[in-house]
């Protein structure tokens, strides 16, 4: 089983949210500057690419090659997931974009999230699988390791990421997080404290949120 939380990464890099009243609270592009240099001219008038132009060309080829490897890996994972369907999660491309996925996780049985259908966004960079996916909840959830922005504290998405891991394993890890939270290292300190000090009311609120925001009759993508 995966460890679900990392004290250093989660507490220092995430925004701690305050859900407040569930009935009232509402749920960059990188700009790359390319410097174009003039070609060098030799004595005979022949033009050659300048050093910066040649370097830029090599960089583009390297980036293109990495993107191609990334796309092949993602396509393979997509095929494997289609052939080996899970009963607790599903995932597919958004707008036919290999780097944007829509995911769904079903609340684990015998937990306060049972009966809930939770939608998540999963985004991949062109460095995948050498960089982890970015995963956020779209469906609101009362959980001490998920903040009000949908950010998730799970260590395999941070310092414990490995290229050997897959999107399927990430989703399984998040399913495990719903079944076994870590209140000692919360993203939402108030919920974590309530879990430890007042478990009855914590569970009551979590079930209510699941019914309001994640039940089949109320859920929206």
**Rounded to a whole number, what is the distance in angstroms from the first to the last CA of the chain?**
29
Q: At 97, which CATH number? A: 3.10.110.10
Region 22-39: what's the mean pLDDT?
36
In this predicted structure, the answer to whether residue 54 has a pLDDT above a threshold of 50 is: no
Question: How high is the pLDDT of residue 60?
Answer: 52
- For residue 163, cis peptide bond before it (omega within 30 degrees of 0): no
Q: Is position 176 within any domain?
A: yes
Closest C-alpha to 121, from 88, 83, 170, 75: 170
Q: Which of 10, 103, 144, 153 is catalytic?
A: 153
User: How many structural domains compose the chain?
Assistant: 1
The pLDDT assigned to 158 comes to 86
Query: Is 153 annotated in the active site?
Result: yes
Provide the percentage of residues in the chain whose pLDDT is more than 70.
68
- Asked if residue 219 belongs to a domain, the reply is no
Q: Is the pTM of this model over 0.85?
A: no
Answer whether residue 39 is part of any domain: no
Distance CA 3, CA 201 (A): 26
Identify the weakest region by mean pLDDT among 7-11, 64-68, 108-112, 184-188.
7-11
pLDDT (mean) for 194-206: 98
Alpha-carbon span 195 to 215, nearest angstrom: 22
Residue 164 lies in a domain: yes
Q: At residue 96, does pLDDT exceed 90?
A: yes
91 forms bridges with which residues in the sheet?
103
Confidence of residue 216 (pLDDT cuts 50, 70, 90): confident
- Decide if 41 is inside a domain: no
Mean pLDDT of 177-204: 97
Minimal CA–CA distance to 186: which of 4, 2, 1?
A: 4
Judge contact between 88 and 106, C-beta under 8 A: yes
Asked if the structure places residue 81 within a domain, the reply is yes
Of 110, 157, 138, 159, nearest in space to 213 by CA: 138
């Amino acid at each position: 089983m995966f460890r679900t939380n990392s004290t250093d990464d989660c507490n220092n890099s995430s925004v701690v949210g305050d859900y407040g009243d569930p009935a009232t609270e509402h749920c960059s592009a990188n700009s790359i500057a390319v410097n174009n240099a003039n070609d060098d001219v030799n004595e005979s008038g022949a033009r050659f690419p300048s050093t910066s132009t040649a370097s830029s060309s090599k960089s583009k080829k390297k980036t293109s090659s990495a993107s191609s490897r990334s796309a092949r890996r993602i396509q393979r994972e997509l095929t494997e997931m289609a052939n080996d369907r899970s009963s607790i999660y599903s995932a597919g491309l958004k707008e036919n974009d290999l780097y944007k996925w829509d995911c769904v996780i079903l609340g684990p049985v015998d937990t306060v999230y049972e009966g809930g259908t939770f939608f998540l966004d999963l985004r991949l960079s062109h460095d995948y699988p050498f960089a982890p996916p970015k995963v956020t909840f779209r469906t609101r959830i009362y959980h001490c390791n998920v903040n009000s922005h949908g950010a998730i504290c799970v260590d395999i998405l941070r310092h414990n990421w490995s290229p050997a891991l897959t999107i399927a394993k990430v989703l399984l890890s998040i399913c495990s997080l719903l079944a076994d939270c870590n209140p000692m290292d919360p993203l939402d300190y108030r919920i974590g404290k309530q879990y430890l000090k007042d478990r009855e009311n914590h569970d009551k609120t979590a079930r209510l949120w699941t019914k309001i925001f994640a039940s089949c009759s109320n859920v929206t993508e």
